[in-house]
Amino acid sequence: MTSPTTGIHHVTAIASDPQRNLDFYAGTLGLRLVKRTVNFDDPSTYHFYYGDRTGQPGTLLTFFPWAGARRGRDGAGQVVRTALAVPADSLGFWKERLTEAGVSGLKASERFGAHTLRFADPDGLGLELIEDFAANGGVSTSLETIPDSAAIRRIHGNLVQLRGTDTTASLLTDVLGLVPSGSDGEIQRFRPRGGEGGGVDLVRDAGSSPGSMGAGTVHHVAWRASDGDHQARLRGEVLGFGLQVTPVIDRQYFRSIYFREPGGVLFEVATDDPGFLIDEPEATLGAELRLPPQYEPQRARIERGLPGILVPSR
């Protein structure tokens, strides 16, 4: 390992109803819709990006909302929970807000010495708010109904369920450069060097059935590379570990490579550059449907095929 990642770039999940997804993440959770585009591999569906005010790497939750998508099933080889960092002493606010929004099944807990609040989104995606002192000084989303002292700051990490964790743990440390950060019961934690970027928790369940992809499940986890050179070095590390990895793919707002970690979870390495401000100013991020150049000639047909949506006001 010569080029460690600085943490999570984004987490992408599958949803069903796009309006319901918008209402929950841009409304209830107060994240900013920083980009409204289409799935570059399937332009018949949206791709929503939520994050902080400018969509900085490390703050991004993204969704492919396939209308009518069947429900997925959590299991081995999947991310079963995504944790979002909030400032210390803010879970009381969130418990009240989520209860008023009709979110059921709220569960207060503690992991690695931090207070957490577990729940699921409307499609059943496992989420967790975790109080993190490092998040107190981060950039908030500035939604008027959510005070800065409680606003979600960034992705804290993901809980990955595997039948065996040893080879995946080696990938995390030897290829991505994450650092083992202790255990809590059956859960092993790995964090980026420096400790403030998003990391990953592994839990071993040798008898678990494989999960299935669908609405309410994570599609992939993307790790940060500062630029193309950093990404190329990480790609070489993945190949040297014996895994297959894609060529570089241009996603317009970053460049990506993909591979499956030994337990089956799809990983991506995405560049920090060029970011979301290349085609929209900060003030109006997410206001219009943005298409990559290859789909611009088909804009009228694509727009007709996409469901109408209303972005919650800020």
Please state, in angstroms and rounded to a whole number, the distance separating the CA atoms of residues 100 and 6. 36
Full-prediction pTM beyond 0.75? Answer: yes
Please state, in angstroms and rounded to a whole number, the distance separating the CA atoms of residues 148 and 143. 8
> DSSP 3-state assignment of 52?
coil
Q: What is the per-residue pLDDT for 140?
A: 58
pLDDT band at 174 (very low <50, low <70, confident <90, very high): very high
Q: What is the per-residue pLDDT for 207?
A: 87
Q: What is the per-residue pLDDT for 1?
A: 57
Q: Around Cβ 195, how many Cβ atoms within 10 Å? A: 11
Q: Which of 151, 144, 183, 147 is nearest to 165 (CA)?
A: 183
Q: Which of 150, 191, 198 is nearest to 173 (CA)?
A: 191
In this predicted structure, the answer to whether residue 145 has a pLDDT above a threshold of 90 is: no
8-305 CATH choice from 3.40.640.10, 1.10.3130.10, 3.10.180.10, 3.40.50.1360:
3.10.180.10
**What integer is the mean pLDDT of 186-213?**
91
Which residues does residue 115 pair with via DSSP β-bridges, in sequence order? 110
In this predicted structure, the answer to whether residue 197 has a pLDDT above a threshold of 90 is: no
Q: What is the pLDDT of residues 37-75, one digit of tens each?
A: 999 999 999 999 999 999 999 999 999 999 889 999 999
Q: What is the per-residue pLDDT for 194?
A: 79
Under a CB-based contact definition with an 8 Å cutoff, are residues 234 and 222 in contact? no
Task: Identify whether 210 is preceded by a cis peptide bond (ω within 30 of 0).
Answer: no
pLDDT band at 180 (very low <50, low <70, confident <90, very high): very high
